[in-house]
Amino acid sequence: MFLQSKEERRVTGPTKNELWFRLLFSLGGLALLIVTVMVRGISNSAALVEVVGIAGAFFGGTAIWSALKLARHRE
């Protein structure tokens, strides 16, 4: 098992630019998801609910995670 010191752990992970890319990409995905639901409407189809739920959780979760990481990067 490879153990890292505290200083080495701070420099690992996504860079600030990568976090910005992930945040913008996730917000774009959420926007496209909203446009798709507005154009197609919400039907009674279980597949649509599943796709919207999974995509919303993925893009929303990634956006929240990136925003929190960016907020910590400012400190």
Q: Which of 5-9, 10-14, 23-27, 44-48 has the lowest mean pLDDT?
A: 5-9
Q: Look at residue 6 in the predicted model and tell me its pLDDT.
A: 61
Which residue is associated with the tokens 């630019």?
17
Q: Look at residue 44 in the predicted model and tell me its pLDDT.
A: 67
Q: Look at residue 2 in the predicted model and tell me its pLDDT.
A: 63
Average confidence (pLDDT) over 33-46? 81
Q: Hey, where are the domains in the chain?
A: 15-74
Helix and strand totals (H; E) in the chain:
3, 0
Q: How confident is the model at residue 19 (pLDDT cuts 50, 70, 90)?
A: very high
